[in-house]
Structure 1
């Protein structure tokens, strides 16, 4: 994160825990300030999701596999995965509340309908 403060235009956090993302954002802002850069860094996040039938299972399996190197933390991340309309809108709201500038939704189900379902929710 210190390197991002010195060299980058912003910081991209991954995860669905707004409290953890907020901590990372603050570290990025502190690194930015320590580097003497004007203004503030662009704060972005990436959120893995699945919507539709068996969405929780699909996104959970993806997260468990992708983050398996984290051990038990991967299971915790899978339990908090975004897999419903309420979770999508809640994630947007929560991350906007901590200063997020941009949110990238990463579909974890291999079907084009995921993008349509997400578009139906966020417009």
Structure 2
């Protein structure tokens, strides 16, 4: 029986997010023209989730998974090809109604929103 070397450790968190979500970027990595549909010079520290880069069938579940990692009081920038009203309802349910939405851009094909999870003392 031959002994095989163990594979090198893999950072599963990063690997899994990359596999499932594809193009999730931080605001720092996206500073050159934000989503590319405008000429704003916004510099954000919040993570950016570009739903346009995710397959239609898994967009909502991917957004819920990413939003689930946002701490109380934290924000997520969501870029969607259309106004994501249904997704906002689902995120509101996930945040137990404690959700603040700020529309940053409403250009057709590139809706950009800041979604902030409210503070909760008890879940």
1 or 2, which has the higher helix percentage? 1
Higher relative contact order (CA 8 A, sep 6+): 1
* Same fold, TM-score > 0.5, yes or no: no
Q: Which has the larger radius of gyration?
A: 2
Q: TM-score, normalised by structure 1?
A: 0.29
Q: Answer 1 or 2: which has greater strand percent.
A: 2
